[in-house]
Structure 1
Amino acid sequence: MKKIILIGSVILTGCATTTGVVPIGEDTYMLSKSDNSRPFISGSEVKAAVMKDANKYCSDINKKFQVVNTHENSQSFGVVASAEVQFMCLNSGDNQLSRPKLTKEADSIIQVKTESPKAERQTNYKQLIELDDLRKRGIISDEEFNAQKKKLLPE
């Protein structure tokens, strides 16, 4: 029974890990943290902690914190709550120091094909006419014409 309680408490304890501040460019840094110290922790909570740490880092070097980008994942089955903040530490008068303009990145990208099958057939027809003209002028051979024709026309 004592072993079960010990194993259960070890599992529930969990841990939090951080990268520490990582330089990624001139005056630009990245800080990330993963946290599974308790169940149902949100990515926003982890992000808030990372923002505080990043802000403190800039403050410690007598500069102002400017967020560049953020990303977070909330805890779910098999996924640990995590957050990443990319930020700059800037001098007070720096022209890049401004109100942050945070926008959420798209979860998925939808590509819309605007060309209809009819338009595609018309394009193929125009290409065939151009190829036939090249063949008639002797610029391409009959074999080259037929090879291109096969590519353009579905069987």
Structure 2
Amino acid sequence: MNRYVLPFLAGALLAGCSNPGIVQVSPDTYLLAREAHGGIFASSTALKAGVIQDANAFAESQGKVAIPISAKEKPMGNGPAQWASFEYQFRVVEKDDPAVRRTQMVHNPNVVIQKSDPDDVSPQQGDKNGAKDLYSELLKLEDLKKRGLLNDAEFDAQKKKLLQ
């Protein structure tokens, strides 16, 4: 019985590591994804080139042309079983289709940065923070006057400067 278990486990292990082939997403759209299980010895460029070549060969076998739709690349991670992968989505069209001349691939960014600036209010528009800062500055001036660090003339001059 042991002689049947070992080959079965080896076959199951190899089947679990295999990459899926070309998957049909819609009548003319296909997806090809592949992982590079070579670790640091695998080339991401060779992985991408191999996937694109296979997609083109698939289209040529049907007498058509592969037009790229999108590509998604994931680099190799630092932990175990974090393989580099490449996913390529493409359409298969006739060679005389006008879309063949104007191919454009959509880039799917991993990170999208949006700028939002809530502090874009000028003091002339009734900025509450500006009014609060003015009040705290006047309190500081009054405190300096009470301590005797500012005389009445200096206090009035600084107050006038703040209120302008």
Structure 2 length as normaliser, TM-score? Answer: 0.55
Q: Which structure has greater helix proportion?
A: 2
* Whole-angstrom CA distance in 2 between matches of 1:105 and 1:123: 40
Deviation at 1:104, TM superposition (A): 4.0
Deviation at 1:43, TM superposition (A): 2.7
Q: Please tell me whether the aligned partners of residues 65 and 95 of structure 2 are also in contact (alpha carbons under 8 angstroms).
A: yes
Deviation at 1:118, TM superposition (A): 3.7
- Other-structure match for 2:42: 41
* Structure 2 counterpart SS, 1:18: coil
- Other-structure match for 1:146: none
Q: Please tell me whether the aligned partners of residues 23 and 29 of structure 1 are also in contact (alpha carbons under 8 angstroms).
A: yes
* Whole-angstrom CA distance in 2 between matches of 1:115 and 1:30: 42
Percentage identity across paired residues of the two chains: 24
> What are structure 1's unaligned runs of at least 5 residues?
1-13, 125-155
Letter in 1 for 2:71: T
> What are structure 2's unaligned runs of at least 5 residues?
1-13, 129-164
* Structure 1 counterpart SS, 2:56: helix
1:66 partnered with 2:67: yes
* Whole-angstrom CA distance in 2 between matches of 1:89 and 1:96: 10
Which range moves more in the overlay, 54-63 or 75-84? Answer: 75-84
1:88 partnered with 2:88: no
* Whole-angstrom CA distance in 1 between matches of 2:22 and 2:116: 43
Q: Please tell me whether the aligned partners of residues 41 and 75 of structure 1 are also in contact (alpha carbons under 8 angstroms).
A: no
RMSD value, Cα: 2.9
Report the count of equivalent residues: 110
Q: Give the number of the structure whose alpha-carbon radius of gyration is greater.
A: 2
Structure 1 length as normaliser, TM-score? Answer: 0.58
- Other-structure match for 1:107: 110
